[in-house]
A and B are shown apart, each in its own frame.
Chain A
């Protein structure tokens, strides 16, 4: 148990569906992250929020839309996804997103399958 929870753990959706992934951290951290983990590729950083402000958007397609209502919660809204978006989506948090070598605590991930 890392203090970072993600729901749902598994999600199957069609290309025309709209769904949301939820992440919650109970660590009092100020930075939260979304990563995509695909087979045969490194973990890809998608979005970073530091003190609820988005500080990084790594050229992610607009069909992925993040939302950070407070420093404990992070959402990833999904719409009109493609089959190649199927992957494990990991949320992480850290004390401060600007600190060098900051330790990131990961949630268990949401396994997403797009049909």
Chain B
């Protein structure tokens, strides 16, 4: 069974601080996505990474896919209260026998940014 482990589970920081959250697996993924979910809403896609070692930037958010395509990180610079939410990583793979479009989700990192 493929698992995606996210850490930390909870993170509470002050506005302006930097942070990194991690998504790790013992399995290889063909692609990996990061979503943000706010209370009372469904997850919203932030980025998809496909190539090992790939780095993508979205304003103050930097996403990296590990060289071996087993792990990923999300770094937020100068966090703002609007960044508060549940950050989910999701991997897509054809190795486990399901449709290669299906996603496996981690449990998420719950981020709280205090003003």
Q: How large is the interface on A (under 10, 10 to 19, 20 to 34, 35 or more residues)?
A: 20 to 34
Which candidate, A13-21, A63-71, A96-104, is the interface stretch facing chain B? A96-104
Task: State whether the Cβ of A50 lies closer than 8 Å to any Cβ in chain B.
Answer: yes
Q: A42-B107, A56-B99, A100-B94 in contact; A108/B30 too (CB < 8 A)?
A: no
Q: A2-B44, A92-B42, A108-B41 in contact; A100/B103 too (CB < 8 A)?
A: no
Chain B CB within 10 Å, residue with most, of A45, A48, A96, A101: A101
Within 8 A of B (CB), among A1-24: 2, 4
Q: A106-B44, A108-B42 in contact; A100/B106 too (CB < 8 A)?
A: no
> B105 contacts A43, CB within 8 Å?
yes
Fill in one digit per residue for B67-84: 1 if any A CB lies within 8 Å of its CB, else 0: 000000000000000000
Task: State whether the Cβ of B111 lies closer than 8 Å to any Cβ in chain A.
Answer: no
How far is B105's CA from A94's CA once the two chains are assembled, in angstroms? 16
Task: State whether the Cβ of B100 lies closer than 8 Å to any Cβ in chain A.
Answer: yes
How far is B88's CA from A4's CA once the two chains are assembled, in angstroms? 19
CB-based A-B contact count at 8 angstroms: 72
Chain A residues, Cβ within 8 Å of B106: 42
Q: How large is the interface on B (under 10, 10 to 19, 20 to 34, 35 or more residues)?
A: 20 to 34
Fill in one digit per residue for B1-28: 1 if any A CB lies within 8 Å of its CB, else 0: 0001000000000000000000000000
How far is B59's CA from A114's CA once the two chains are assembled, in angstroms? 42
Task: State whether the Cβ of B48 lies closer than 8 Å to any Cβ in chain A.
Answer: yes
> B42 contacts A106, CB within 8 Å?
yes
> A106 contacts B43, CB within 8 Å?
yes
> B99 contacts A40, CB within 8 Å?
no
Determine the residue in chain A with the shortest Cβ distance to B106: A42
Chain A residues, Cβ within 8 Å of B105: 42-43
Chain B residues, Cβ within 8 Å of A31: 101
Fill in one digit per residue for A39-58: 1 if any B CB lies within 8 Å of its CB, else 0: 01111010010100001100
Chain A residues, Cβ within 8 Å of B103: 45, 104
> A56 contacts B98, CB within 8 Å?
yes
How far is B102's CA from A48's CA once the two chains are assembled, in angstroms? 8
Q: What's the minimum C-beta distance from A54 to chain B, rounded to whole angstroms?
A: 11
Task: State whether the Cβ of B92 lies closer than 8 Å to any Cβ in chain A.
Answer: yes
